[in-house]
Amino acid sequence: MPLNTVPDDLPNIDPDHLHPVDPALLKGPDDPGHPPRILLLYGSLRKRSFSRLVAREAERLLRWHGCETRIFDPSGLPLPDAEDSSHPKVQELRELAMWSEGMVWVSPERHGAMTGIMKAQIDWIPLSVGAVRPTQGKTLAVMQVSGGSQSFNAVNQLRVLGRWMRMVTIPNQSSVAKAFMEFDENDRMKPSAYYNRIVDVIEELVKFTWMVRGRSAYLVDRYSERVESAEELSKRVNQRSL
């Protein structure tokens, strides 16, 4: 999209200062060529969920940057271990995780932590499916909404989980305080420094995704895993015939 052209669904944007990301400056030689694929997860089932509204604002920005997006609806997702992985909602979530090249996690802060719904979604995404790791080497942006003053408890926890899932979690993040005051009657975010930070986070996520996705296999290649693989191969090749 050309500079200074902003669609009507981004009314808070100053078109003179929202710059398109230039993939030519970032992508690797093995870049797959298609638009970046971003999955957005949010952590509330409320009818008017502010984490969902933030996810939608983020999705509009991602699409402006040329990304392909999916938002997962956690309604009906069972608690981990309450059902097996064949449950339709679990399968939907896992397929989206495999499809994605980057993610946005948006959680409310409840009792000083991320919500159980947010954690359940992450817990249902396995570290590995056969030889494939659904999250390793993919990019991640973390955000939170709060009912009171600004806090960073939820995003700090999400960062720990992102590291555990072997994701490339970008430096920037967003925390929206008193979220109930930041949206209008049409459920659109009002102009504010909080909104501007979301714009920052999404721009950075798009840049990192272009930069990482064509190189992720090399970036996550590890000596310890190469050694382990060599040992397993040696055992298989040198085992005595039965």
Q: Is residue 139 part of a domain?
A: yes
- Dihedral of the CA atoms 194, 200, 205, 210 (nearest 10)? 160
pLDDT digit string (tens) for 1-41? 444 577 788 989 998 889 999 999 999 888 999 999 999 99
Candidate from 29-33, 95-99, 170-174, 225-229 with smallest mean pLDDT? 225-229
Q: Is residue 233 part of a domain?
A: yes
| pLDDT mean over 37-58 | 97
Q: Is residue 6 part of a domain?
A: no
CATH of the domain at 188: 3.40.50.360
Q: Decide: 118 and 105 in contact? Cβ < 8 Å.
A: yes
pLDDT digit string (tens) for 136-167? 999 999 999 999 889 899 999 999 999 999 99
Of 149, 147, 145, 169, the C-alpha closest to 158 is 169
Q: Is residue 13 part of a domain?
A: no
Look at residue 129 and tell me whether its pLDDT is greater than 90: no
Q: Is residue 174 part of a domain?
A: yes
The pLDDT score that the predictor gives to residue 206 is: 98
Q: How many other C-beta atoms lie within 10 A of the C-beta of residue 197?
A: 16
Over the Cα atoms of the chain, what is R_g? 20
Report d(CA 74, CA 89) in Å as an integer.
Answer: 8
Q: Is residue 106 part of a domain?
A: yes
Domain limits for position 184: 23-238
Question: How many distinct structural domains can be found in the chain?
Answer: 1
Encoded amino acid at 35, one letter? P
Q: Is residue 14 part of a domain?
A: no
Q: Is residue 66 part of a domain?
A: yes
